[in-house]
Amino acid sequence: MAIRLDGKAVSAHFKEQIAQEVADFVSQGKRAPHLAAILVGEDGGSKTYIEAKDRACQEVGFNSTILRFPATITQEELLLEVEKINNDSQIDGLIVQLPLPKHIDENVITQTIIPEKDVDGFHDINMGKLAKGDHSGYVSATPLGITMLLKYYNIDTTGKHAVVIGRSNIVGRPMSILLSESSSTGNATVTLCHSRTQNLKEICLTADIIVAAIGKPYFLTGDMIKPGAIVIDVGTTRLDDTTRERGWKLAGDVDFKEAEKNASMITPVPGGVGPMTITGLLNNTLKAYKRSK
């Protein structure tokens, strides 16, 4: 039976370290780090995620601001709100929760956030720095959180074959770069797969590490995993579930019950990558705060 990589416990470990750093700064008479989040509309998943980030900020001693706007806000109005935060020296990091309403161009919004406050790591400058192996920028929070998880469990990635399923700019592409770069959680040989990859099952069966980030519930089945492989499940899809009071459940990209029969280590959903994403965001915000000082 596979070892479960407990993102919730690992997140608590790193949050304790961040909280201690913040307490030290505050004891010196300095202000606390400040993260601002913009939430547009009433999407249930987005609201849940933003509120979780807000709670995490409070746990580590950050100041946290949530700016809520109706789905009818225009792109021009939203850009003005972003610029206000760009120019506010008391705010260190800004995230705009995605997805946005269809009449708003997400790329225009994310590129308007100045790179110094782009703690989600979506700006072209931060993405470009990552591609060059320059860590002076910010790494997208989910891939960063995964590397923190790998480091905590002392998972050796050097020389291993890592298969990343999904090529999004938020997870797949940056994850493939991090696993291949020269670092303690890198030096792997990486295959980046996607919805049009041929012979995907055969490729996965050669993997020592699989990162499933394709956004399709239960996509990675047990017969796609070679014995002893490490499986990282990034998926968080809401599925209707009338047996639960809230009416839904979170599903990962991995068929967990079957996968854990073959895997040596595996992340659960929930409680795996999700908490580490928030920890990655906190880490980036602290980094931005230190720079501002």
Pairing of strands 230-233, 209-212: parallel
pTM (2 d.p.): 0.95
Same CATH topology for 29-117 and 141-274: the answer is: yes
Distance CA 186, CA 209 (A): 12
What is the reported pLDDT for 1?
A: 83
Q: What angle do CA 165, 120, 130 make, to 5 degrees?
A: 65
Q: Is 120 in the active site?
A: yes
Domains of the chain, residue spans: 29-117, 141-274
Collapsed DSSP state (helix, strand, coil) of residue 104: coil
Per-residue DSSP letters for 3-48? EE--HHHHHHHHHHHHHHHHHHHHHTTPPPPEEEEEEES--HHHHH
Please give the average per-residue pLDDT across 239-260, as a whole number: 92
pLDDT tens-place string over residues 128-144: 999 999 989 999 999 99
Alpha helices for the chain (secondary structure H): 7-27, 44-60, 75-86, 106-112, 124-132, 141-152, 172-180, 200-204, 256-262, 273-292
Catalytic annotation, pick one of 6, 15, 92, 97: 97
The pair of three-digit structure tokens given for residue 64, joined into one six-digit string: 């946290």
In the residue annotation, 53 being an active-site residue is answered as: yes
Find out whether 86 and 113 touch, Cβ atoms under 8 Å: yes
Which residue of the set 118, 120, 233, 253 is catalytic? 120
Is 165 within 8 Å of 156 (Cβ atoms)?
no
List, for residues 14-31, the tens digit of each pLDDT value. 999 999 999 999 999 999
The superfamily CATH assigns to domain 141-274 is: NAD(P)-binding Rossmann-like Domain (3.40.50.720)
Buried-exposed string 76-106: b where 16+ CB fall within 10 A, e elsewhere: eebeebbeebeeeeebbbbbbbeebbeebee
Instruction: Tell me whether residue 111 is one of the annotated catalytic residues.
Output: no
Indicate the CATH number for domain 29-117: 3.40.50.10860
Give the pLDDT confidence of 54-74 residue by residue, as tens digits. Answer: 999 999 999 999 999 999 999
Catalytic residue among 15, 53, 117, 287: 53
Tens digit of pLDDT for each residue in 142-165?
999 999 999 999 999 999 999 999
Rounded mean pLDDT of 169-188? 97
